[in-house]
């Protein structure tokens, strides 16, 4: 207790001194800080951060205070994983199992690309691996929004000190996180020893490292591979879940897309869509683009810390600021997208067929740090949506009076922003039933 008190005094003194230095630094600049509601002394907006639906709340703040914020083998494996996805969805006991089937799809594509491993069973170790990664991400708080993100000094303080909760949680995950980082590379090393390693991203880099011709070392290879799963698995899966949600709410969009797909596939020997059909299926492209816009699954982007003082559009951004891009807010910009809360794939049709609204690439972030998985993600989503449209129907559940129960239009908050309510029934169409035997 005595040692606790001994720490409180210097820490409080340090925080007070930081406050004075911060205020003095602010005074040196003529530009105002970015607009927003008034903050508290020293703690700024720490306790002013919106509790629920932050992206929506920031979008509202912007209205009040002003806006400050904005290959062939691969195709084959994506087509095969999309067919597995549809089969797994149709075989689900009920809607509670849809998320697991969708996660299997996005994990399956990544495991085949990174390590050559094909997921065949629901309890595959790659599912456990990527679920654990998500658990760590979710358990350690939203990036840039925890006290330790705002005051990194907190990670050096004892766990009883107020505000250190997430630093303590992060420490408790340390050995689990190391296991996650080692997982894919250890898997391929073992396959290499057995002479069974399939061609993959990790194998190619491992061989280069072993021959001494690689530009990355083993630690960087582990970090990169883990980043693929950390950044690409839930995002792709959640966007497909958004597609399901949209199809329950907007059945006409599904019927229209089914007509287009049926017309293109008619007379084809292989009666399932493939990437060769992409140019002839603009409707599928528009469905996918509208899913990315309607509910972007990284609503507040990935926060970045400014490494030097900066001025943006006349606003002073002090060095060390955590900057969020309100991707959700941008997707709802009424000056760009008419009826932004509605799911309207035709908004992307060029004039005179449609208003020619721009594709929403902002879903993948901006500038130098924009998502490097953009093309992979869009290809995976395109083939998953095309295959689903060709083979399945989706209906809302019915209540005791026979009335449809429409699932809530709501995404989970935080790093894993997936639809929280997927109440619907997926049924195979004739082509879907035929496919179940392939």
What is the closest distance, in whole angstroms, from the C-beta atom of residue 233 to ligand HEM in the complex? 8
Length of the chain: 438
Q: Return the number of the residue (236 or 326) whose C-beta is nearest ligand HEM.
A: 236
Of the listed pieces 143-151, 215-223, 316-324, 369-377, which binds ligand HEM according to CB under 6 A?
A: 369-377
For ligand HEM, the binding residues in 230-289 under the rule CB under 6 A are 231-232, 235-236, 239
CB atoms within 10 A of CB 17: 10
Give the distance, in angstroms, between the CA of residue 406 and the centroid of all CA atoms in the same chain.
24
User: At CB < 8 A and 24+ separation, what contacts does 308-314 make?
Assistant: 309/29, 311/29, 311/31, 312/34, 312/68, 313/68, 314/31, 314/32
Is the CA virtual torsion 273, 277, 282, 287 positive or negative? positive
C-alpha triplet 317, 323, 325: angle, nearest 5°? 125
Q: Return the number of the residue (154 or 386) whose C-beta is nearest ligand HEM.
A: 386
Does residue 86 touch ligand HEM according to CB under 6 A? no
Of the listed pieces 95-103, 161-169, 278-286, 296-304, which binds ligand HEM according to CB under 6 A?
A: 296-304
CA gap 83, 384 in Å, rounded: 8
Q: Where in 202-264 does DSSP place strands (E)?
A: none
Does residue 385 touch ligand HEM according to CB under 6 A? no
Does residue 414 touch ligand HEM according to CB under 6 A? no
CA gap 100, 305 in Å, rounded: 34
Residue 308 and residue 319 in contact, taking contact as beta carbons nearer than 8 Å: yes
From residue 115 to residue 154, the character string flagging contacts with ligand HEM as x (rule: CB under 6 A) and all else as - is ----------------------------------------
CA distance to 6, 78, 274, 357, per residue, from 270 (Å): 75, 16, 9, 34
Does residue 299 touch ligand HEM according to CB under 6 A? no
Does residue 108 touch ligand HEM according to CB under 6 A? no
CA distance to 21, 31, 32, 74, 316, per residue, from 27 (Å): 10, 9, 10, 55, 11
CA distance to 86, 123, 234, 368, per residue, from 113 (Å): 20, 19, 16, 24
Q: Report, in angstroms and rounded to the nearest whole number, the Rg of the chain calculated over CA atoms.
A: 24
Q: Return the number of the residue (248 or 292) whose C-beta is nearest ligand HEM.
A: 292
Does residue 354 touch ligand HEM according to CB under 6 A? no
CB atoms within 10 A of CB 173: 16
What is the closest distance, in whole angstroms, from the C-beta atom of residue 297 to ligand HEM in the complex? 5
Of the listed pieces 45-53, 255-263, 361-369, 389-397, which binds ligand HEM according to CB under 6 A?
A: 361-369
What is the closest distance, in whole angstroms, from the C-beta atom of residue 356 to ligand HEM in the complex? 23
Q: Return the number of the residue (150 or 297) whose C-beta is nearest ligand HEM.
A: 297
Count of residues in contact with ligand HEM, rule CB under 6 A: 23
Kindly report the backbone phi and psi dihedral angles of residue 54, in degrees, each rounded to the nearest multiple of 5, phi listed first.
-60, -40
Q: Return the number of the residue (134 or 302) whose C-beta is nearest ligand HEM.
A: 302
CA gap 46, 256 in Å, rounded: 47
Q: Return the number of the residue (251 or 373) whose C-beta is nearest ligand HEM.
A: 373
Does residue 55 touch ligand HEM according to CB under 6 A? no
What is the closest distance, in whole angstroms, from the C-beta atom of residue 334 to ligand HEM in the complex? 22
For ligand HEM, the binding residues in 210-229 under the rule CB under 6 A are 227-228
Of the candidate residues 89, 226, 330, 363, the single one contacting ligand HEM (CB under 6 A): 363
Residue 352 and residue 50 in contact, taking contact as beta carbons nearer than 8 Å: no
Residue 85 and residue 104 in contact, taking contact as beta carbons nearer than 8 Å: yes
What is the closest distance, in whole angstroms, from the C-beta atom of residue 174 to ligand HEM in the complex? 22
Residue 191 and residue 37 in contact, taking contact as beta carbons nearer than 8 Å: no
What is the closest distance, in whole angstroms, from the C-beta atom of residue 50 to ligand HEM in the complex? 19
Residue 392 annotated as lining a ligand binding site: no
Does residue 78 touch ligand HEM according to CB under 6 A? no
DSSP structure class, residue 152: G
Does residue 324 touch ligand HEM according to CB under 6 A? no
Does residue 366 touch ligand HEM according to CB under 6 A? yes
- Residues contributing to the site for ligand HEM (CB under 6 A): 110, 227-228, 231-232, 235-236, 239, 297-298, 301-302, 363-366, 369-373, 376-377
Annotated binding site: 371
**Residue positions forming the annotated binding site for heme:** 371
């Amino acid at each position: 207790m005595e040692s606790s008190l001994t720490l409180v005094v210097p820490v409080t003194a340090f925080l007070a001194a930081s406050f004075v230095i911060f205020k003095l630094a602010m005074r040196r600049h003529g530009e105002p800080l970015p607009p927003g509601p008034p903050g508290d002394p020293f703690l700024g907006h720490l306790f002013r951060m919106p509790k629920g639906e932050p992206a929506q709340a920031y979008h509202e703040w912007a209205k009040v205070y002003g806006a400050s914020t904005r290959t062939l083998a691969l195709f084959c494996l994506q087509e095969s994983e999309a067919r597995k996805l549809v089969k797994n969805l149709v075989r689900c006991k009920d809607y509670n199992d849809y998320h697991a089937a969708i996660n299997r799809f996005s994990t399956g594509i990544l495991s085949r690309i990174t390590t050559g491993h094909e997921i065949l069973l629901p309890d595959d170790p790659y599912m456990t691996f990527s679920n654990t990664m998500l658990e760590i991400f979710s358990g350690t708080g939203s990036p840039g929004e925890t006290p330790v993100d705002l005051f990194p000094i907190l990670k050096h303080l004892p766990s009883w000190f107020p505000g250190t909760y997430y630093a303590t949680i992060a420490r408790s995950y340390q050995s689990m996180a190391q296991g996650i980082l080692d997982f894919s590379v250890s898997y391929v090393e073992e396959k290499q020893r057995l002479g069974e390693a399939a061609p993959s991203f990790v194998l190619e880099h491992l061989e280069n490292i072993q021959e001494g011709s690689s530009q990355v070392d083993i630690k960087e290879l582990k970090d990169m591979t883990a980043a693929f799963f950390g950044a690409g698995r839930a995002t792709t899966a959640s966007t497909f879940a958004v597609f399901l949600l949209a199809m329950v709410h907007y059945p006409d969009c599904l019927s229209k897309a089914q007509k287009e797909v049926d017309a293109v596939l008619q007379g084809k020997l292989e009666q399932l869509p493939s990437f060769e059909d992409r140019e002839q299926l603009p409707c599928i492209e528009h469905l996918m683009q509208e899913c990315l816009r309607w509910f972007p699954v990284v609503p507040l982007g990935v926060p970045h810390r400014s490494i030097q003082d900066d001025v943006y559009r006349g606003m002073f951004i002090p060095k060390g600021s955590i900057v969020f891009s309100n991707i959700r807010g941008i997707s709802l910009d009424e000056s760009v997208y008419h009826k932004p809360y509605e799911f309207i794939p035709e908004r992307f049709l060029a004039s005179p067929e449609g208003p020619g609204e721009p594709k929403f690439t902002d879903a993948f972030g901006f500038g130098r740090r924009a998502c490097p998985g953009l093309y992979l993600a869009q290809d995976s989503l395109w083939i998953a949506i095309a295959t689903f449209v060709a083979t399945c129907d989706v209906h809302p559940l019915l209540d005791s009076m026979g009335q449809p129960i429409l699932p809530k239009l709501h995404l989970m908050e935080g790093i894993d922003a997936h639809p929280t309510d997927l109440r619907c029934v997926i049924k195979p169409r004739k082509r879907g039933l035929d496919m179940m035997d392939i």
